[in-house]
Amino acid sequence: MAQRLHLVFGGELVDPAKNVFRDVDDIDIVGMFPNYASAFDAWKAAAQKTVDNAHMRYFIAHIHRLRDEEVEVSTTEELGH
């Protein structure tokens, strides 16, 4: 069974309606978690600390969904289609 890693990170956005960070050097890496439940708990705790700043946003990235660069893909997949 594949390991299902989740990365929790966040930072201040340029615009709360878009997912563009104001300063990528200032991104808060909360941590890597072995399952969604623990990642969600970490995300919720980080998000609650910054609830008064509408520009702060935290995310859960499903690292296990990233594809293996060694595995060949079709041309259209490589282009994102």
> Residue ranges of the domains in the chain?
6-13+25-78
Q: Distance from CA of residue 68 to its chain's centroid?
A: 18
Token pair 């340029």 is found at: 14
Whole-prediction pTM: 0.76
Q: In whole angstroms, what is the distance from residue 61 CA to residue 40 CA? A: 11
- Please state the separation of Cα 36 from the chain's center in Å: 12
Per-residue DSSP letter, 30:
E
Q: What percent of the chain has pLDDT over 90?
A: 70
Tens of pLDDT, residue by residue over 57-72, are 999 999 877 766 666 6
- Element of type H or E holding 1: none
Percent of the chain with pLDDT over 70: 79
Q: Which residue has the higher pLDDT, 46 or 71?
A: 46
CATH, range 6-13+25-78: 3.30.70.2400
Asked if pLDDT for residue 80 goes beyond 60, the answer is: no
Q: What is d(CA 14, CA 26) in angstroms, rounded to the nearest whole number?
A: 13
